[in-house]
A and B are shown apart, each in its own frame.
Chain A
Amino acid sequence: MKNWVILAALALAFAPLPLAGSNYLLRLATTVLMYVVLAQSWNFIGGLAGYPSFATAAFFGLGAYASAVSLAHGISFPLAWTGAGLAATAFAALIGGAILHLRGHYFAIASLIVAEMLREVINGMPDLTGGGKGMNLPILQMSVAAESRFFFYAMLALAVICIATAIVVHGNKLGFGLRCIQQNEDAASMLGVNAYAYKTAGFALSALYVGIAGAIYASWVKYIEPPDVFDVMLTIKPIVMVLLGGIGTLFGPALGAVILLAFEELVSRNFLTIHAAALGLIIVALILFLPSGLLSTLHSWFPRKDPVT
Chain B
Amino acid sequence: MIYFQIFANGLVLGGLYACIAVGFSLVWGVLNVINILHGSFIVLGSYVAFFCYVHLGIHPFISTVIAGAFLYALGYLLQAGIINRVVSAPVLMTLTLTFGLDLILNNGMLLAFTADYQTVNLAKPLGTVQLGPVFLPGDRLAAMVLALLLTLILYRLLRDSRIGRAIVAVRMDREAASLMGVDVPGINAVTFAIGAFMAGAAGALLSIIFPISPLNGPLFLGKAFVVCVLGGLGSVPGAMLGGLVLGVIESFSSFWFGPDRAVTISFALLLVLLFVRPGGLMGRRGYE
Question: Do chains A and B stick together as partners?
Answer: yes
Which positions in A face B, CB cutoff 8 Å? Answer: 46, 50, 52, 98-99, 102, 104-106, 108-110, 113-114, 116-117, 120-121, 124, 232, 236, 239-240, 243, 273-274, 276-277, 279-284, 286-288, 291
In the complex, which of the residues A108, A110, A280 has the most CB atoms of chain B within 10 Å of its own CB atom? A280
Selecting from B7-15, B52-60, B186-194, B270-278, the interface stretch reads: B270-278
Complex contact A124–B264 (CB within 8 A) = yes
Tell me whether A281 and B222 are in contact in the complex, defined as CB-CB below 8 angstroms, given that A124-B264, A287-B93 are known contacts.
no
Complex contact A114–B264 (CB within 8 A) = no
Tell me which residues across on chain B come within 8 A of A277, comparing CB atoms.
103-104, 107-108
Would you give the shortest CB distance from A17 to chain B, in whole angstroms? 31
Which positions in B face A, CB cutoff 8 Å? Answer: 28, 32, 34, 82, 85-86, 89-93, 95-97, 99-104, 106-108, 111, 218, 222, 225, 229, 260-261, 263-264, 267-268, 270-271, 274-275, 278
Would you give the shortest CB distance from B38 to chain A, in whole angstroms? 13
Complex contact A106–B275 (CB within 8 A) = no
Partner of B274, one of A104, A110, A116, A288: A110
In the complex, which of the residues B85, B222, B270, B274 has the most CB atoms of chain A within 10 Å of its own CB atom? B274
8 CB contacts below 8 A, A to B, read: A52-B91, A99-B274, A113-B225, A281-B100, A282-B100, A284-B82, A284-B101, A288-B85
Complex contact B107–A276 (CB within 8 A) = yes
Tell me which residues across on chain B come within 8 A of A124, comparing CB atoms.
260-261, 264
Tell me which residues across on chain A come within 8 A of B263, comparing CB atoms.
120
Q: List 16 additional A-B contacts (Cβ < 8 Å) besides A284-B82, A291-B89.
A: A52-B95, A99-B271, A99-B275, A106-B274, A108-B91, A109-B229, A110-B274, A113-B270, A117-B264, A120-B264, A120-B267, A276-B104, A276-B107, A280-B107, A284-B100, A288-B97
Tell me which residues across on chain A come within 8 A of B93, comparing CB atoms.
287, 291
Complex contact B271–A117 (CB within 8 A) = yes
In the complex, which of the residues A50, A106, A124 has the most CB atoms of chain B within 10 Å of its own CB atom? A106
Would you give the shortest CB distance from A271 to chain B, in whole angstroms? 11
Partner of B111, one of A98, A243, A274, A280: A274
Complex contact B264–A121 (CB within 8 A) = yes
Complex contact A239–B96 (CB within 8 A) = yes
